[in-house]
Amino acid sequence: MKSIELVSVNCCGEVGDVIISGVEFPPGKTVFEQAEFIKKDKKLWNYVLNEPRGGVFKHVNLIVPPKDPAADMGFIIMEPLDLPPMSGSNSICVATVLLEKGIIPITNSTMKLTLEAPGGLIDIEAKCNEQKVESIKIKNLPSFVVDFEKEIVVEGIGTLIVTTAYGGDCFVLVDNKNLGIEINPDNADQIVTACSKIIKAANEQLGFSHPLVPNMNSISFCMLMNKSELNSDGIKHARNTVCIRPKKLDRSPCGTGTSARLAYMHLKNEIKLNEKFISQSILDTTFECELVSKEEKNGTICVVPEIKGQAWVTGEQKLYLDDNNPFPNGYRLTDTWPKE
């Protein structure tokens, strides 16, 4: 009987479990190629994400030896329908598990390490108290706007002005003044229904083209954004939520979505380099953010965001697979796994 050992962990409410043993490392010269193998092979992906071992609410990360000598560890992110190049909440989960489980020993109150995501290298700064990680700050991938404030027509909604942007994955950004749905848990179903339609319309009418990654050509996520305001400390903050395929909301403020939003805000002169921003989730959890640098890549103006948050280890699991188990690939039912 085969077994896989996982650590159960969430970042600001978003599940990002981490596999720490029991899986052969996938083939590939880069972590990106390894992720592509998992995507095509589907066996591990289906085994851990589908019922009866997983569910649509769950993300699972596989830690792998790094391919880049500058990295301390690599990781591959498995979400319900995508293997994204980067995820803020999942990278915070992975870093927390690596440190709290002693895979990378905690030797100082401030630990600095580099993780290799499929999309590139991520610098990590962890604040620790003995063997507990109290916060993780990540330096995300360069983020940028692709289509700035374009019109699309959305079924059942009408004409919307949207922006597409990259923050570690591909997003369509929507100002909530155009939808007027209050971002709270009671409206989650209404939000995912609207945002799923917006993703579909944006892919059909705008598409997506990453200037450095040729096969990254579709929009995976929609961020619904409330207007930013100043809090009592004079820091800009805003509530937002991200729809993940298939029709599920990110429980965290979403690090890659916030990075895409910050690139958009910077282009509109709504936020400056080194200016603080607090991104608030549908559950009221927060990321502390700022843009730390600006650069040009292949003619595209990019900003580099830093995102600070926290993850909590909630348990450990062992998943077993008996040779006679009738569901080696799991299963999906539309009562809990929505159709797109």
Indicate which residues carry an active-site annotation: 87
Whether 119 and 76 have beta carbons less than 8 Å apart is answered as no
Amino acid in position 335: D
Q: How far apart are CA 236 and CA 41, in angstroms?
A: 44
Measured CA distances, 226 to 30, 165, 180, 215, 241 (Å): 38, 17, 9, 31, 9
Q: How far apart are CA 89 and CA 322, in angstroms?
A: 32
Q: How far apart are CA 258 and CA 308, in angstroms?
A: 11
Which residues are within 8 A (CB) of 169 and not within 5 positions of it... i.e. 6 or more apart? 82, 84, 85, 86, 87, 119, 220, 221, 256
The residue ranges of DSSP E strands in 90-196, in sequence order, are: 110-117, 120-129, 132-139, 144-154, 158-166, 170-175
Whether 34 and 88 have beta carbons less than 8 Å apart is answered as no
Pairing of strands 73-78, 311-321: unpaired
Judged by DSSP in three states, 40 sits in helix
Measured CA distances, 47 to 23, 58, 110, 268, 290 (Å): 11, 12, 36, 44, 37
If you ran DSSP here, which 8-state letter would residue 51 be given? B
